[in-house]
Chains A and B, each alone.
Chain A
């Protein structure tokens, strides 16, 4: 099965900083990657799908890129409401594996 590895596992950045999270697949998954945001105590929310398509209602400071095995989620200007754990998920075929998550905090 394809494994999904996220890095870093956590980060701390200042408001307004550019934040980058990486997700690596152990095999080529094309552009079949989604990103989710889970705020503390809340249900996960879809942010991005097919690697770079912003889901409806998601602020434009979020963006995704990559294909094949290497993918990136970028927050262009970190806001206090972005404190959350972010997960990638392969979406080409079962098993629909998630990455281990990246916890984002404000410095």
Chain B
């Protein structure tokens, strides 16, 4: 059974940093591109970042230069390093798996970890 378990969320002051983790199990993690998607309270879904199987990364313009996605295939874990956090980064952050190679939609999602940016 595929499982994605996010952690690392919390309350941080504007300008601060946070690192999110997503522990994956139930599939061959190294064979799938992975993503971060966020949802601000009461708002819609916003794609944040992707990382391919070879480590190629992509970012939404709203986080480019501030967020860094990475993966450790030996630990089956996806990361999101978030720096220079802003109030508008407050959201539930989901980890999501690509359906399969070349198919850039998401068939499994974690439960999310909440990031609150506030002074």
A residues whose Cβ falls under 8 Å from a Cβ of B: 1, 32, 34, 36, 38, 43-46, 49-50, 55, 85, 87, 89, 91-101
The B interface, classified by DSSP as helix, strand, loop or mixed, is strand
A100–B40 CA distance with the chains assembled, in angstroms: 12
With A91-B103, A93-B104 as known contacts, state yes or no: A43 contacts B45, CB within 8 Å.
no
CB contacts (< 8 Å) of B47 on chain A: these are 89, 95-98
A95–B63 CA distance with the chains assembled, in angstroms: 12
A-B contact pairs, 14 of them (CB 8 A): A34-B105, A36-B106, A43-B109, A44-B45, A46-B99, A46-B105, A46-B107, A49-B99, A49-B103, A96-B50, A96-B104, A99-B44, A101-B44, A101-B45
Which residues of chain B from 86 to 119 have a CB within 8 Å of any chain A CB? 94, 99, 103-107, 109-112
Q: Are B50 and A94 in contact (CB under 8 A)?
A: yes
Q: Mark B48-91, 1 if CB is under 8 A from A, else 0.
A: 00100000001011000000000000000000000000000000
CB contacts (< 8 Å) of B106 on chain A: these are 34, 36, 44, 46, 89
With A97-B47, A98-B45, A100-B44 as known contacts, state yes or no: A92 contacts B104, CB within 8 Å.
yes
CB contacts (< 8 Å) of A36 on chain B: these are 45, 106
CB distance from A39 to the nearest CB of B (A): 13
Q: A43: nearest residue on chain B (CB-CB)?
A: B109
CB distance from A49 to the nearest CB of B (A): 5
Which among B37, B44, B107 has the highest number of chain A CB atoms within 10 Å? B44
